[in-house]
């Protein structure tokens, strides 16, 4: 019996295609690297890490998700997305060191996957696989997820936007 057709008559895509296998490989490798190292030491290392973690914890405990506070002082110097993601992680996992790093680790995994999709769309399935794996193995990306630098989430947003614009314009 055939699979039902959805989305305006387009048939279900089978999971055993080369694109899907490559996506799974990139996501798995990136997950092992970024999530596997999230739970290992060191703890939140410097004042920037601890300030970010404290602001996110204050957002969660106070219920004020609009403005950040640090030791009772209004802290509006940075964009709040970083704090929202960390506070959401704290809500799920509790205020732990590794919970502060999970949002950036997930952003790094998504960035590797978007890069693989972009490379596959622009060049070939093999190029997309290599692009995703090479980004997953970059030392700089690994360090950015370890030291709570929000550049990974920004890079993910820019990459997704560029991919969307490139796809909208076509080849």
pLDDT per residue over 101-160, tens digit each?
Answer: 899 899 999 999 999 999 998 999 999 999 999 999 998 888 777 777 788 888 999 999
Is the pTM higher than 0.85?
A: no
The one-character DSSP state at 10 is E
Rounded CA separation 146/46 (Å): 11
Residue 71, pLDDT above cutoff 50? yes
Residues in the chain, how many?
Answer: 171
Rounded CA separation 171/80 (Å): 36
Rounded CA separation 168/3 (Å): 29
């Amino acid at each position: 019996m055939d699979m039902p057709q959805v989305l305006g008559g387009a048939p279900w895509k089978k999971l055993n295609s080369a694109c899907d296998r490559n996506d799974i490989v990139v996501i798995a490798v990136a997950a092992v690297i970024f999530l596997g190292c999230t739970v290992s030491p060191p703890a939140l290392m410097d004042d920037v890490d601890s300030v970010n973690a404290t602001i996110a914890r204050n957002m969660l405990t106070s219920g004020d998700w609009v403005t950040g506070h640090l030791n009772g002082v209004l802290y509006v110097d940075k964009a709040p997305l970083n704090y929202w993601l960390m506070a959401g992680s704290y809500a799920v996992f509790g205020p732990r060191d590794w919970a502060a790093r999970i949002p950036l680790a997930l952003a790094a995994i998504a960035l590797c996957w978007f890069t693989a999709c972009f490379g596959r769309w622009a060049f070939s399935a093999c190029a997309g696989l290599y692009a995703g794996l090479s980004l997953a193995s970059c030392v700089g990306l690994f360090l950015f997820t370890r030291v709570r630098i929000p550049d990974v989430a920004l890079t993910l947003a820019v990459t997704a936007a560029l991919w969307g614009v490139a796809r909208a314009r076509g080849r």
